[in-house]
């Protein structure tokens, strides 16, 4: 970004709040607001700046977690600026992406099974689905490994 030896940088302020729903259930709500700046590699505009934002909630229900969040940034150029590499096919710059993410996780002892979905709602044309399987090692396992080395 301008006057730095960096391709980009950002600053943000993040806040979160837990709301208890009984003994084993709670909701964590969170939000973020910031500033994002990056190099564009365009000859007429070498830098773009944006307001960075995000909101979301995690629902912790016994051994399950459901997370939903909406993230993005709103750039200075907007969709009005055109990139002209080929004069016959100019492209919109598209610097205002908005992405929806959802995740569900379920614990089974030391195992965790998760499913994630991501969809671009604006200026981000991709969708993805991810299946996760995790196994968590106990602290005793790690302590025993250290004793074996001694």
Which run of H or of E encompasses 118? strand 111-122
pLDDT digits (tens, 9 = 90+) for 83-104: 667 778 777 777 889 999 999 9
Q: Tokens 């084993």: give the residue.
A: 24
Distance CA 77, CA 86 (A): 20
Report the phi/psi class of residue 139: left, alpha or beta, with left for phi > 0 and alpha for psi in -120 to 50: alpha
Residue spans per domain, the chain: 8-149
The pLDDT, as a whole number, for residue 110 is 92
pLDDT digits (tens, 9 = 90+) for 99-120: 999 999 999 999 999 999 999 9
Residue 79 DSSP one-character state: T
DSSP 3-state helix, strand, coil percentages of the chain (rounded to 5)? Answer: 5, 60, 30
- Considering the chain, what percentage of its residues have pLDDT values greater than 90? 54
- This prediction's pTM: 0.78
Distance CA 113, CA 106 (A): 5
What average pLDDT does the segment 46-66 reach? Answer: 93
Distance CA 104, CA 67 (A): 6
């Amino acid at each position: 970004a301008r006057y730095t030896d960096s391709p980009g940088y950002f600053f943000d302020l993040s806040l979160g709040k837990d709301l208890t729903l009984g003994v084993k259930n709670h909701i964590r709500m969170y939000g973020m607001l910031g500033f994002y700046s990056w190099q564009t590699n365009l000859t007429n505009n070498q830098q773009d700046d944006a307001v960075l934002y995000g909101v979301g909630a995690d629902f912790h229900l016994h051994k399950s977690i459901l997370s939903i969040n909406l993230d993005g940034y709103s750039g200075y150029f907007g969709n009005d600026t055109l990139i002209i590499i080929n004069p016959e096919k100019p492209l919109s710059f598209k610097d205002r992406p908005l992405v929806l993410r959802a995740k569900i996780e379920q614990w089974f002892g030391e195992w965790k099974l998760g499913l994630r979905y991501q969809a671009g709602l604006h200026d981000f044309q991709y969708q993805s689905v991810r299946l996760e399987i995790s196994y968590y090692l106990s602290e005793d396992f790690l302590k025993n490994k250290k004793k074996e080395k001694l």
